[in-house]
A and B are shown apart, each in its own frame.
Chain A
Amino acid sequence: MALRLRFSHPLRSFRASADLTVERGETVALVGPSGAGKTTVLRVVAGLLRPAEGVVTLDELVLLDTNRGIDVPPEHRRVGYLFQEYALFPHLDVWRNVQFGARRGQDVAPLLERFHIAKLARARVHELSGGERQRVALARALARDPALLLLDEPLSALDAHTHAEVRAELRELLDGLGLPAILVTHDFEDAATLAHRVGVISDGEILQLDTPTDLVALPRDSFVASFSGATVLSGAVVETRDGLSRVALDDGLMLWSADEERGPVTVAVYPWDVSLGAEVPHDDSRMNHVSAAVVSVAPMGNRTRVRVGPIVAEITSASAERLDLRPGVVAVASFKATAARLFPRSGSVD
């Protein structure tokens, strides 16, 4: 069961468009800043928005074809849609919420059991925690036995503590269902964990659609790089020598990059390519050493993100502890010239 989607629709300040195929059992994530047109894609697939022009098919089944005047209403599309903030009905209890999506005479008790919400069957929506709401919304979306799944920011309404746990559950669920699924999120890490392919959206356009690994290895431009987690700095190439470019950053720092560019550039450095030390190491193959004060230290589980001057490094929490990194302490961030990727920048436009 493959979902094929192609549409174009004018929004307030730009035109939203997409052209993609999602295979059976595949999850495609769309990431981008808020207002980039991610949810528009889901609304078109669900039939909640009729685009100016487009075609949506599920295998041979045509759900939308503006040229032929076909527009199957949402109630007949067999789409499981998990809304942002979940859109549970506040006037119904958990059982009735799930029952709403079910067919006449269908028993929803097994679904409640499966999502561990049987005990909450009589609870009202406002009594539930974020994680519980998400499970109710998922059970409701699956009650109709959907042929495809749409997830709009499924994890953003959760606190940091339940986030990782629910993400793992969701991953398992998506694998088990084997449906084509489109997931919308502003968090690249969530996208990379949950999806087989990730599309980076900006101003209604999918800039790059690739596996998470390829996106990080070969970002098409500085926007994709920054959205996939890179620190992006602006500067200009002042010298090229032996295939290397010497870049003067806007704040005066000098860096080496293995990419050949000329003129104004943006430099992208992924935090996991940067290591930290107390002083500049001797006999080091790495060409870039930025010595600056630590700006911030943010632990994230077993890893810690440390910002040294303009550079962000991601190191193990054990190393961060050993180096005794605190804001204000001077540290050296080191990375190879190959880890500093250059993208041409035209004048003042980023």
Chain B
Amino acid sequence: MTAETITVSMLAIIVFGTPAAYWISTRQGALRDALVTLVELPLVLPPAVAGVGLLVAFGRVGLLGGTFDALGIDIAFTKVAVILAVTFVASPFYLRTAIASFEVVDPTLPAAARTLGARPGRVFMRVMLPLARGGLGAGAALAFARGLGEFGATIMFAGSLQGVTQTLSLAIYEQFDIDFDVALAISALLIVLSAVILLSVKLVTRWRSGSASVTLFAAFARRPT
């Protein structure tokens, strides 16, 4: 359950987030600041607020809910809801790190690539992506870790239906009342999983040292200029 939703969420975050982050990193001034703020918003939003927001947007009586309902699609309290909630909450971790890693690439490198005959798409694939790779990997790992532990928005928007929308974090919450040992076991599993993720990020960045390795701190310490 958790594995499936987080995989889909991460795919969505990376496939749509990477070009979006690159696009934002090439903007300047007020537009860039506004976009970055928008990206960072889910980061500071209380998860319950995020859940309510998603319900209002996609719930059966929500803004877009009517449209989906008419099409016979019901989102709230389904797997799709879990995916939406996880994506919403985890994406800032990836986007913010990705924007920062694109911004630290020496701007003369894409310029040089252009004068060497590369169209913007090729510049992105052959120059920007490889140079920002370290930071993108770190951002993805952080988003993954955050998505894994996602709880608040999910329980509000997707509920905790075993086998349908119950993620590991939600299972802990449920088992906490029923069987503490099970809750403990799942918690231990999540701790190990999170530690492995963080450790592999560290190892990968160290192994790739020399190239642009953006840590979480670098990504967030960089103030909009």
Contacts and interface: CB of A to CB of B under 8 A. Distances in A.
Interface of A: 46-48, 73-77, 79-81, 83-85, 87, 89-91, 100-101, 103, 126, 140-141, 143-144
A133 to B, nearest CB: 13
B115 A90 contact: no
28 contacts: A46-B115, A47-B115, A48-B111, A48-B115, A73-B114, A73-B119, A74-B111, A74-B114, A77-B115, A83-B111, A83-B112, A84-B108, A85-B108, A87-B109, A87-B112, A89-B112, A89-B113, A89-B127, A90-B211, A91-B130, A100-B113, A100-B116, A100-B126, A101-B116, A126-B210, A141-B115, A141-B116, A144-B116
Interface centre among B111, B113, B131 (most CB of A within 10 A): B111
A79 B211 CA distance: 29
Nearest to B118: A75
A87 B131 contact: no
B163 interface: no
B72 interface: no
Interface in B89-117: 106, 108-109, 111-117
A89 B111 CA distance: 11
B127 A79 contact: no
B132 to A, nearest CB: 10
B183 to A, nearest CB: 46
A43 to B, nearest CB: 8
B127 A75 contact: no
Interface of B: 106, 108-109, 111-119, 126-127, 130-131, 210-211
A47 B112 CA distance: 11
A140 B116 CA distance: 8
A34 B117 CA distance: 28
Given A90-B211, A100-B116, 6 more contacts: A46-B115, A47-B114, A76-B117, A79-B115, A83-B108, A83-B112
A48 B114 contact: yes
B192 to A, nearest CB: 34
Contacts of B126: 100
Contacts of B127: 89
Contact of A100 (B111, B118, B131): B118
Contacts of B113: 89, 100
The 6 closest A-B pairs by CB, nearest first: A101-B116, A74-B114, A87-B112, A87-B108, A81-B115, A91-B130
B213 to A, nearest CB: 13
A263 B184 CA distance: 91
Given A87-B108, A89-B109, A91-B131, A75 B119 contact: yes
Given A87-B111, A91-B131, A75 B211 contact: no
Contacts of B109: 87, 89
B203 to A, nearest CB: 20
A144 B112 CA distance: 13
Nearest to A85: B108
Contact of B115 (A75, A91, A103, A126): A75
Contacts of A80: 115
B118 to A, nearest CB: 6
A75 B114 contact: yes
A76 B115 CA distance: 8
A100 B106 CA distance: 17
A75 B117 contact: yes
Nearest to A152: B108
A88 to B, nearest CB: 8
B212 to A, nearest CB: 9
Contacts of B211: 90-91
A83 B131 CA distance: 18
Contact of B112 (A73, A77, A81): A81
- Pick from B115, B126, B127, B131 the residue with the most CB of A within 10 Å: B115
Nearest to A81: B115
Contacts of A103: 117
A89 B112 CA distance: 9
Contacts of A143: 116
A89 B130 CA distance: 10
Contacts of A46: 111, 115
Contacts of A90: 131, 211
A48 to B, nearest CB: 5
A74 B210 CA distance: 30
